[in-house]
Structure 1
Amino acid sequence: MRRILVVAVALSLVLAACTSKGGGGKGGGEGGKRPATVDGIATAAGTHKEKIDVGTPGHREYLLHIPAKVADGKWKDGKPADRPALVLALHGGLANMNKMESLTGFDRISDDKGFVVAYPDGFMTTWNAGSCCGAAKIGNIDDVGFLSKLIDKLTGAGLADPDRVFVTGFSNGAGMAYKLACEKPGKVAAIGVVEGSLVTKCDPDRPVSAMIFHGTADRSVPFNGGGNRDFNDKRPFPPVSQAVDFWRKLAKLPKPHEDVKALSGNTDCQGTGKGAQGVEVTFCKIQGGTHAWPSEASEMLWRFFDAHPRKG
């Protein structure tokens, strides 16, 4: 009996030692290993459906893509040792976060380059981007507040670098990217606008870098202006040149004149060059382009974002 007791005690000590050694593994968050969650956010490689409380009834949802380079990289105190960049990708009207994920292909670029991507969901498939669009506008939804809280949550949890937060969007989502930069420029280093329009009051206290794509044959948001802003707002969209001029003048930049390498022959991109604090505006005109996400846009946007972190 005594021998059995001694063996049992010895075995328990061995097991305790093994448990202590393994406790820092993935899910433990100790010893430089990745925890299973940070502030309730999943950290494993892949795409996770998450939700966030925005102080209103219910909650808002988003998809979060964590690349293996972050999940399997070095962690310190339960956070990535080197905080990655964050790209917020905002879907167009009558779409959703899943559609934006598949439309842009940002997951593949994220896995290659090591940045985090968040795909927020709008309100009833729309964003309140000012005088557009649909349910979100009619309900006066505080989408700026939602996106600001999402940025704060991800940067506060150490899952993203606050100086490398970039926002891009398509159509209604592009207009929302403009609105976020207009009202919260301190949270955004650069924006990427694809087939969108600046249809909100805009008086930011600092400039942001911007890359703007627009097709010359877009009938939904016409290149030279026109159409209807919303089903209940017959005012025309302003021409894309108006938004380009707004952001470059805000940063005291010249008209775009420097050729920027594009990834397809029908895309003509010109930039202003970098001004104060590294801010730059690049305009890409897509000859014959319609109201669609260009195949080259995601690669070019990441290249632009990576070169324009927030300074000062």
Structure 2
Amino acid sequence: MKSLSLLLLSFLLLPLTSHGINPGPEEPTPGDPGTPGLCADDNLQPGQHQRSLTIDGQRRQYILHVPRSYTGDREVPLLLDFHALHTSSGYQLDNSGTQQVADQQNVIVAYPQGIDNAWNLGPCCTESRTVNDVGFAREIVEQVSAEACVDRKRVYATGYSNGGGMAYILACRAADMFAAVAPAAFDMISEVQCNPSRPISVFAHRGRLDVIVPYRGGPSTPPTGYDLDPITFLGAEGSFERWSDLNSCGGSSSIGNNCVASGNCAGGVENVLCIARLGSHSPWDAQTSWDFLKQHSLP
């Protein structure tokens, strides 16, 4: 399966060692994650660590970034940051900006690696539709929580392009575990059923001039010569309206900075769409996304 992201096709996957990643233990034995405000001592050190686990017989990998300020003596948030098609967890670590935010805000970030450098959204985008990426994300949260002092009420997902689609999928299918999501440069797909177990906060960033994921929605427009299954996007505004419905929100209004928000959503959640009027298939500002995410926690 080929990339939807025309802008990122030129980037090559880099070996994990080029990112200064420590191999570390591959599948640590789950332990007691501790109680709120009180964590057991651990030996997890700041820096990048390579981790692996097995889901449905498939060996999966992710990079774990532990901020410099992490001491293990109090609970910290956990963010999963999903890469775009045809890139990698290492590329996302180096370029998304979440690593820098994590060091400033004391957040642990996991950078999952997709099979085929892609995420299974249902109608796309891995070669096999049997890849269990939702299970992979859930198990990352469990594994990191067993190793580190994680605030289980403050677990979040973000991602760019196909990775943004993965953040949407987790909002639809894992709202019991993820407090809020922040997808960028992707929209909801009409072929995908979405039935979140509870209202969940969504912060979406879209470029109005995006031709890879059309701002107004409709069929995907991959680069010429790429054989992709048909995908029909709801569009930026259509996705925003869909989440307003899913979250039982009232009307919407501008909140400044080219952003619009739904009002009176169930459970006190928020639904926000921010638009880069001259933006194309553009990633988000990591700090702005985090400023939204950190305000939300599981009920």
TM range (shorter): 0.7 to 0.9
Partner of 1:21: none
Instruction: Answer yes or no: is the 8 Å Cα contact 2:158–2:181 preserved in 1.
Output: yes
Q: Whose helix proportion is higher, 1 or 2?
A: 1
Partner of 1:250: 246
- Letter of the structure 2 residue corresponding to residue 168 of structure 1: T
- Residue 44, structure 1, aligned to residue 51, structure 2: no
Partner of 1:112: 104
1:162 partner SS: strand
Pairing 1:3-82 to 2, within 5 Å after superposition: 35-36=42-43, 43-57=44-58, 59-70=59-70, 73=71, 80-82=72-74
- Letter of the structure 1 residue corresponding to residue 66 of structure 2: I
Partner of 1:302: 290
Partner of 1:145: 135
Q: Percent identity?
A: 27
Partner of 1:237: 233
- Residue 188, structure 1, aligned to residue 189, structure 2: no
TM-score by length of 2: 0.80
1:170 counterpart (156, 160, 167): 160
Q: Which moved more, 1:268-277 or 1:206-215?
A: 268-277
Q: 1:258 to 1:307 in 2, by over 3 A?
A: farther
Residue correspondences, number: 255
Aligned-partner Cα distance in 2 for 1:242–1:209: 16
Pairing 1:255-266 to 2, within 5 Å after superposition: 255-260=251-256, 262=257
Partner of 1:207: 199
TM-score by length of 1: 0.76
Q: Bigger radius of gyration, 1 or 2?
A: 1
Instruction: Answer yes or no: is the 8 Å Cα contact 1:128–1:143 preserved in 2.
Output: yes
Segments of structure 1 that go 5 or more residues without pairing to the other structure are 1-31, 37-42, 74-79, 263-267
Aligned-partner Cα distance in 1 for 2:129–2:195: 23
Aligned-partner Cα distance in 1 for 2:234–2:248: 21
How far off its partner does 1:236 sit? 3.2
Segments of structure 2 that go 5 or more residues without pairing to the other structure are 1-38
Aligned-partner Cα distance in 1 for 2:264–2:52: 37
- Report 1 or 2 for greater relative contact order, CA contacts < 8 Å, sequence distance ≥ 6: 2
How far off its partner does 1:229 sit? 7.2
How far off its partner does 1:226 sit? 2.7
Partner of 2:28: none
CA-based RMSD: 2.0
Instruction: Answer yes or no: is the 8 Å Cα contact 1:175–1:198 preserved in 2.
Output: yes
